[in-house]
Amino acid sequence: MAMLEVKDLEVCYGVIRAIKGISFEVNEGEIVTLIGANGAGKTTTMQSVMGLIPIKHGTVTYEGKDITKTPCHKLIGLGMAQVPEGRRVFQELTVYENLLMGAFSRKDKKEIKDDIESIYEKFPRLSERRNQIAGTLSGGEQQMLAMGRAMMSRPKLLMLDEPSMGLSPLLVDQVFDIIKEFHKSGTTILLVEQNAGKSLAISDRAYVLENGEIAFSGTGKELMESEDIKKAYLGG
């Protein structure tokens, strides 16, 4: 049984059908990527899975439980977390307070403290700036904070929406390294990316989203070698 199963998902903005009945699944322990161009519906898919925008038709199942209509805040307690597009750290709160917010659904105070320490170990920059207001961090640091914050809920399934967006090549490499590390420590990953090359390289499986429909799917390797994908997404 898949950890996350999306079936015939349809999402509309007014009369416009943004997502036209897509199905995909993520199995426990996998890294799965949705790639696609701007406006293909990647972020819409991610937000509707988390209950942030209403689903017109179709079902979302997580660990065998129908969560199509479950409000977002309840999903966090079930072990789902998402790093939203554009990072969206709380600008007015400090780095430390942002990490604390990530653990909002948890009650185990002592372990929360330990987890924050281990995030600081992983991201020394955040440790140096722990009492700084998050709005003053650079884009890369904010992305690290957003990822650290999402991990604070100890998710079983971590979804990342374009974590490499707007970052320098060096930072992009770092982001993908961190994703691999999270995965190694036992977190299942659903990744949405425009950077097809990097994301396919670390993915077990991938889906290609085009105009609200799934155009191709396969293992990361298969898609990387497919001529169509190469032409459209890998620049060659």
Partner 1 sequence: MSILFDGLSLGAIYALIALGYTMVYGIAKMLNFAHGDIIMVGAYAFYVALISSGHMALGIVVAVIFCTVMGMVVEKVAYKPLRGASPLAVLITAIGVSYLLQSISQLVFGADPKVVTIPSLGTVSLLGASISVSSIITLLIGAVIMAGLTVFVKKTRTGRAMVAVSEDKGAAMLMGINVDKIITITFAIGSALAACASVFYLMQIPSVEPTLGSMPGIKAFTAAVIGGIGSIPGAMIGGVLLGVIEKICLSIPVLSPYTTAVEFSLLIVILLVRPIGILGKKRREKV
To the nearest whole angstrom, how small is the minimum distance from the Cβ of residue 153 to partner 1? Answer: 6
Q: Sort 104 into a burial class: Cβ within 10 Å, 0-12 / 13-18 / 19+.
A: middle
Question: Site for partner 1 (CB under 8 A): how many residues?
Answer: 31
Sorted by sequence, the CB contacts under 8 Å of residue 27 that are 6+ apart come out as 2, 3, 188
At its nearest, how many Å lie between partner 1 and the CB of residue 19?
A: 18
DSSP 8-state secondary structure symbol assigned to residue 41: S
Per CB under 8 A, which of residues 168..207 are in contact with partner 1?
A: none
Is residue 113 close enough to count as binding partner 1 by CB under 8 A? no
Cβ-based neighbours of 111, under 8 Å, separated by 6 or more: none
First to last CA, the chain: 37
Per CB under 8 A, which of residues 56..85 are in contact with partner 1? 71-77, 81-82, 84
Tell me the per-residue interface mask from 213 to 232 with partner 1, x by CB under 8 A, - otherwise.
--------------------
Q: Is 88 in the site for partner 1 (CB under 8 A)?
A: yes
Among 44, 153, 164, 203, binds partner 1 (CB under 8 A): 153
Smaller CB separation from partner 1, 50 or 209:
50
| Contact set with partner 1 (CB under 8 A) | 47, 50-52, 71-77, 81-82, 84, 86, 88-93, 97, 100-102, 104-105, 135, 149-150, 153
